[in-house]
Each structure stands twice: as structure tokens, then as C-alpha cells.
Amino acid sequence: MSNALQTSSSSTSAWPHTDTSKLVFLIDACTEEERKYLTDWLNRQKPQEASAPETDNLAFLSSQGRDDSPTHEELQKSITAGDDRLFVPIRIAWLTEDQSGGVRRPRVRDFIFRRSSGPNPVQRRWLLKRSPDKAQPIAGKAATLHEMKLRYRAKIGAAAEEELDIGRLADYVARQAILSLEQAERSVNGARQKLPYFVSRTLQSRIGFRKTITQIGQEQDQTDEQALEEAAEYLKELVALPSEFHVDTFAQLARFIYSRGYDPEIVHDPADIKRLRDLAKNHPIALCWTHKTHVDGIAVSALLHQYRFPLAHMIGGINMAFMGIGYLARRSGAIFIRRSFQDNRIYKAVLRHYIGYLMEKRFPISWSIEGTRSRIGKLMPPRFGILKYVMEAARTSNIDDLHLVPVTIYYDLIPEVADYAAEQRGQTKRPESLAWFIGYVRGMSKPLGRVSIRFGEPVVVGQDMETKPKYQLGDSTETKDAFALELQKAAFEVAVRINNVTPVTPSAIITLALLGACPRSLSIEQITDELGEIIAWMQSRGIPMTSDFGESTAERVQQVANTMIELGILTRYDEGLSPVYGIAPDQHLIAGYYRNTIVHFLIIKAFIELALVKAAEMPPGHSEAVFWNEALRLRDIFKFEFFYSSKEEFREQVQRELDLSEPNWANMINGGADQVNKLLDALRPLFAHATLKPYIEAYSIVADGLLQFEQTDPWDEKGFLTRCLKYGKQAYLQRRITSEESIAKLLYTNGVKLAGNLGLIEDTSGDLHGRRVAFARELRDIGRRIDLIDAMAARRRNTDIISVREVKSTDGQEPIAV
């Protein structure tokens, strides 16, 4: 039963041109009526010289399960009859109402009769009696027992002289027969989605799997039987059991959920899907997608199902496997893994072999590279957990062409943003449950715009890295270090490529402009000027933008702005001389979420602006060195927030940006404050104040908190973050910080990471207090320069240009001496 199959029907005989006495028809049927129908069909199709098939020529299978091997009571007897036996699998293909190959939408009667996955036994009896034209016999290509034994020995690694277990060989032959028939049936019923079958039994029969499990068991003082039984239980827990009916049902449910708030059609490029399909035919692929909302995974699944893409197995936390949804998702390809299994070696081995099997069979793996939903909009640092097991599985399965496909999912608006803002201010996340899910779906009744998906260039593990490690997965320290380095490089490269294809949306540039003006509101003329500058700058840099930015830009931006006003994110005041727009009270974190989705495009320029202000304060002749030192220092300070290229490429990016703004920039930096002011004026628009202020103010809260922390007290990060939230609220009420965005738990967490990285938490060597004071002063100085940029941007809105000489810092210091 090779992959090359032939289909037989009433007009094409299933009888091969061979000695019919050696034939064994493997009949896949679950009712006596089907068995009789197929036996009669064989009698009608037999050659004249052949006798009717006898009992010895028939072996009945029943493939109702999707993971257990089909039953095969007569098959073992046929296997012992000689290697020259020729097996021919046959079954009835039940013709569907829709053979176009398109997406079938389950209806209520589908749920009752499960029509999407074929009729149930009662229906089959009725159809054979009343509508036999719906039953079309099919057959796979014949294969001899000798061929099957050779393939089975190769699978399990058995020597030619080694005696085979008849029961396990029969399992293998039966599974291959069913898989052959599944593929043959697709030629009758159209391009059905490719699904995996008999995964658990196949894995348990593999010598490599059994050897790995028993070896771990021996090291844990378990018998082979105990270790294999434990592994079998984990397979029951992990292995998805997809059926066509459940996959179709889940896709329809997914469309119902996201289309309650979003447009039903997902915005995408069909050429991306074609490219991805071609890639999946020849290579194992893993889809690494961004995670901003609970819609992400189901949106990807629905889009791929629309094209009948090979089933992508989505990996998620077991917390999402709650009643009802967990059952359906697992039968639609979802793999639910435990939140913690670090010390469970058998569980890890089972997961690794399972993922390796799926990649070997060219079933895509799909998961969020961030590991959790982004609570503040920007791409979160990659979580290595699932990626680690995928890459390990590739290594142990001798897969050297794993393609990690970056996938960005972006939205006009996001339903959970208010919940994210509450969590950042200290509220507890609500646990997932069926009641939570129902409430979530109900809450999506507001208009939220469109869902869009883009696919980036894949990262080929081991080939797109700077080095190609020549090692196999093992236990040596050197091997682990090499693998850890490759893992980090792969994750980083995926994140960079995700950012590169994440486009600018109307909601992002609207909030960028208004947050940059806060606490001021802007007139429609000011907003038009701001957005015009921003869009022109982005287009000149080749930054990807959604299709909203074209001939109907103004109309589309106004539409999104009106929706954000309806949702309470923006305000419009029109009782004065002219309407003005601003960020609504207590909505700065929510507005910042949308701005942060594009902040990665802006940070290089923001760093340039701040470094130039510092350079302007230096004596002529020293400014350029100060500029580069400060740019690299800012890169280091914000390393827990953003993804960068290497230092060399970072310098090239800075130079390219300056070249585009002012080709004579190097001479102007060294020309004194007046020349630097002119250079800053050429850097339109300004971004530092609109992008970095929340981060630097939050870090200042952390720095001030550390100054109050006694060196002798035991470090309690959770308690310290709670104090930061309270101190941040106080600082905002006193207007010592200006942005409500700065009161955010995640920003404080990253501020703590930075302080720890600088040795300012538990490193008591030297003058710890003095180093903490220096850190706080450095952050305060960056904040002062951000305020200068803010003031310059504000004056520009009123057509004036401000010099760095004219502005006082927010802490009341004298004007900057230049």
C-alpha cells in the first residue's frame, strides 16, 4: 500500500492481474450490510478465470477509531499464509452533497448525524437500501506481504533474520491499509483536508520511541512495562484525535466567534498561502504567530481551513482545555500541554517524539512564539519552551530543514485591551473556563474592524544562523550550550522577521500622534499635519502599511477614529471654536497598546533624537563621540523592551536614518548646538516623546523604589512590584510623572530586570547605594531630554521652532548650558 494509489469503482475492477488465489482483500467496513455490499461488488468485478473470493481471501477491518489500530481478526491468519500474499484494501466512499472541495459548513443536522465525517452505521444501512448511488467502492494499490514486511522492518529497525511479532505486524498492515484508503477517498470526494491517524499506536510500535522511554525508566528505577505504560498515558493526554467533522465544526465555530466583532473575511494575501502550501509539501514547517487576543489561534486555523491546508496542530496551555471547547479543539488538532513538566523526563520525551512524528509526516505545528498574550501591544520576548521541544524533536528525528514561519496577526481594534490595562494596574487575571468563554464571545458584539494575517520569510533552523552547529542532541555541556545558542538565535530571528512584516494600522498612527501630544488635545488641522508627516516618513522608509493607506486614507482613518471614540478610547470636544481630539481619561494604557504595535519601527529614530540632544550639550569637537556612546547606551537600557540587530548593524541603521534626513549630519553634530538644532529640525517628525516616555518614567519609579529599599532586607520581587504600582500612582497624582502609561506592571518588571542586569538589586559589593543613585540620575536625565523633544514637537505644532537652549527640565533645573 504505497503512497501511489489507484481508485476502483463500479466501472474499474479492484482485481489485479495476478494469481487470484494469492489475493487477500482487506475490507474496511463497520456493518454487515457494507461487508455484503463490497463482497457482492467483488464478485461482479472478478475476472472470468477467477473464482469467487472465499473466506481465506477476505480480511475484515473496522476503522471507526482515529488513533487505535483498526480491528483485524482475520488478518493475522492471512499474514501467516506466505509472503507472496497480495493485499488489496477496499472500502465504500460515501459521496457527499458538496464535492467541490470547498469548505462545508456544519449544520444542526450535521451535529446529529455527523454527516461531515461520513454517515453513521444506521445511515449507512439506510443509504445502501434506499440510495446505493451514494456508495462508491474504492481500492488502494495492492502490495505483497513481503513488501509490507520490508517496510515494517525498516520502520522498527529490525534485522532481516529477526522474527517479527505477528500481532504488531498485523497492526502495521491494517493501519497502512486505512491510510491508503483515506488518500484514495480524497480522489473521490474532493480535496479533503489531510489528517493524521493512528498516531499513538504508530509511536508505540517504533523501536526508537520504546528505547528512549525504557532507558529513562531504567534510570528512574522503573521496569520497562511501567515506563511504557506511563508513556502510553501521556500519549492519551497529548495526542490530538482529529476528524473531518470536528475540524469543520471548529472552523465554523471560529468564524462565528471572530465575525461577531470583526469582518468575516480575514485580510490576507492568497499568494502567501500558496507559497506556504508549496513549502509544506517539501519541508516540515512551524507557524510562529503573535499573540494579542484569544482570537489569534482560531483566526489562523480558520484561514488555513479555508484553503484545506494540511491540519496545523496548534499547541496551547492545558488551561484552555476547559469543558466543551477543550473536547472540540483536541478533535480539531489542538495539543494541550501541561504548564509545568520540567522534571518529568518521560513526559518530555513523549512530547518530543510526538512533535517529531507530526513534522516527519508534514503536519505543520502552530503556536504563539510569545507564549502569552501581549499586554502592552509590542511583541513580547519569545518564550523558548515550545520552540525548544520543536527544535529538539527535529534533531532527534534527523530533520535538518525545519522552517520556522513568522506569522503576524493584527487588528484594527482588540476586545481585551481594557482587561490588559486593568492587569497592568494590578488586577488579577480572570481564569479561563466555559463561563469565561461564553462571556468573552458575548463581549465581541462591538464593531472592531478587520483581522489581518501576514506571513514572513521562514527561518531555516541551522541555515539562517551565523553558524551551522554540527552536533546531535546529547547530554554534554558543550552540546547543551551549542543548542541553547542556536535556540536563542532562532527565536530572535523569528521575532525580528515578525516585526518586519507587521504593518502600520490606522489605530496605531492615530494613538501615536495623540499620545505624543498628551495631555494636550489636537485640532483636526493639527492631527492632519501630524498624520501626514508620520505617513510620509514611514512611506519613505519602506515601512509596511495596511491597505488603509491609499487613496481613501483620510476616510479610513476617520472611520477608525470614530470607532475609538464610540469605544471611549478617544474624546472629541466640539463646543469650542473648533473640534479637538484627545486621549480619554484613564485610557492612556489602552491607547498606548495600539501605538506599541508599531513602536519597533520608531525606536532607532527616537534614540537618535535623544543622543543628539546630549551631543548638543557637549563642547564642539566631542559631540560625535558622545552621540555614538549615548545611542549605544540607550540601546542597552531598553534591551528588555525591544529587539535589536547586532551592534554593527545597529550603527548602520542609525547612519541610514541620518543620511535620509540630512546627508551632512556628521559635520553638523560637531558644529555645536546651533548646528545640532538645525539637524533636529530636519528630523521630522519627532518620536522620542511619543514612544519612550512611558518606559523611562516607569524605570524611574523602579530606580526611586530601589533607593528606598534597605540593603539588608531580603529581596521580594512580587512585593517590590506591588509597591511600584502604588508609588507610580502617587507620582502621577503629584505629576512627577506625566503619563498614565507609566503605571504598568510589565514595565516595572522590565525595569527590575534592567536593575538586576546592572547589579543593582542583590549585588552588595562596592557602593550599592551610590550606584543606585547614579542609575536614578541617568534615567532622570533621559527623561529631561524626552521633555525637550516633547517641547520641540509642541512648538512645531504652532509653527515655531524651539532650541534646546530655551527649555528648562521638569525638575526645575536651569536652562541647559551649551
Distance between terminal CA atoms of the chain?
Answer: 83
Chain segment 504-515, per-residue pLDDT in tens? 999 999 999 999
Residue 191: pLDDT band by 50, 70, 90 thresholds? low
Q: Is 375 left (phi over 0), alpha (psi -120 to 50) or beta?
A: alpha
- 55-66 burial, b if ≥16 CB within 10 A, otherwise e? eebbbbbbbeeb
Lowest mean pLDDT among 7-16, 453-462, 612-621: 7-16
Q: List the single range of 14-23, 89-98, 248-257 with lowest mean pLDDT.
A: 14-23
pLDDT-based confidence at residue 785 (cuts at 50, 70, 90):
very high
**pLDDT at 163 (0 to 100):** 83
Query: Of 8, 15, 92, nearest to 53 (Cα)?
Result: 15
Tens of pLDDT along 307-352? 888 889 999 888 777 767 888 888 899 999 888 887 899 999 999 9
The whole-number pLDDT of residue 808 equals 41
- Confidence check: pLDDT of 804 > 70: no
At 818, the pLDDT band (50, 70, 90 cuts) reads: very low
pLDDT recorded at residue 693: 95
The fraction of the chain above a pLDDT of 70, given in percent, is 85
DSSP states along 676-691: HHHHHHHSPSP-HHHH
Banded pLDDT at 689 (limits 50, 70, 90): very high
Separation of alpha carbons 553 and 132, rounded Å: 58
CA atoms within 13 A on the CB side of 629: 8
Mean pLDDT value across the chain: 83
More confident residue, 813 or 696: 696
Question: Of all residues in the chain, what percent carry a pLDDT higher than 90?
Answer: 37
What pLDDT shows up at residue 318?
A: 81
Whole-prediction pTM:
0.79
pLDDT for the residue numbered 213 = 95
Cα separation, 457 vs 110, in Å, equals: 39
Q: What is the SS3 assignment for 604?
A: helix
Answer with the residue of higher pLDDT: 485 or 194.
485
pLDDT at 8 over 60: no
* Per-residue pLDDT tens digits for 405-417: 999 999 888 888 7
On the question of a cis peptide bond just before residue 519, with omega within 30 degrees of 0, the verdict is yes
pLDDT in tens, 396-439: 888 888 999 999 999 888 888 777 777 787 777 776 677 777 78
* Identity of the residue numbered 246: H
| Contact assessment for residue 184 and residue 7, using Cβ atoms and an 8 Å cutoff | yes
pLDDT tens for each residue of 522-540 = 988 888 889 999 999 999 9
Average of per-residue pLDDT across 250-278: 91
pLDDT at residue 477, as a whole number: 67
DSSP readout, 127-189? HHHH-GGGEEEEEPPPEEHHHHHHHHHHHHT--TTSPPPHHHHHHHHHHHHHHHHHHHHHHHH
Q: What is the pLDDT of residue 774?
A: 94
Q: Look at residue 702 in the predicted model and tell me its pLDDT.
A: 96
pLDDT score of 443 more than 50: yes
| 126-158 tens-digit pLDDT | 888 888 888 888 888 888 888 888 888 887 777
Q: Tell me, what's the pLDDT at 467? A: 42
Burial track 102-114 (b if 16+ CB lie within 10 A, e otherwise): ebbebeeebeebb
CA-CA distances (angstroms) from residue 351 to 51, 385, 637?
A: 50, 12, 38
Q: Which of 39-53, 65-79, 256-270, 780-794 has the lowest mean pLDDT?
A: 65-79
* Rounded average pLDDT over 13-26: 72
Instruction: Check residue 62 and give its pLDDT.
Output: 64
Query: Cα 720–722–726 angle (5° rounding)?
Result: 115
At residue 227, does pLDDT exceed 60? yes
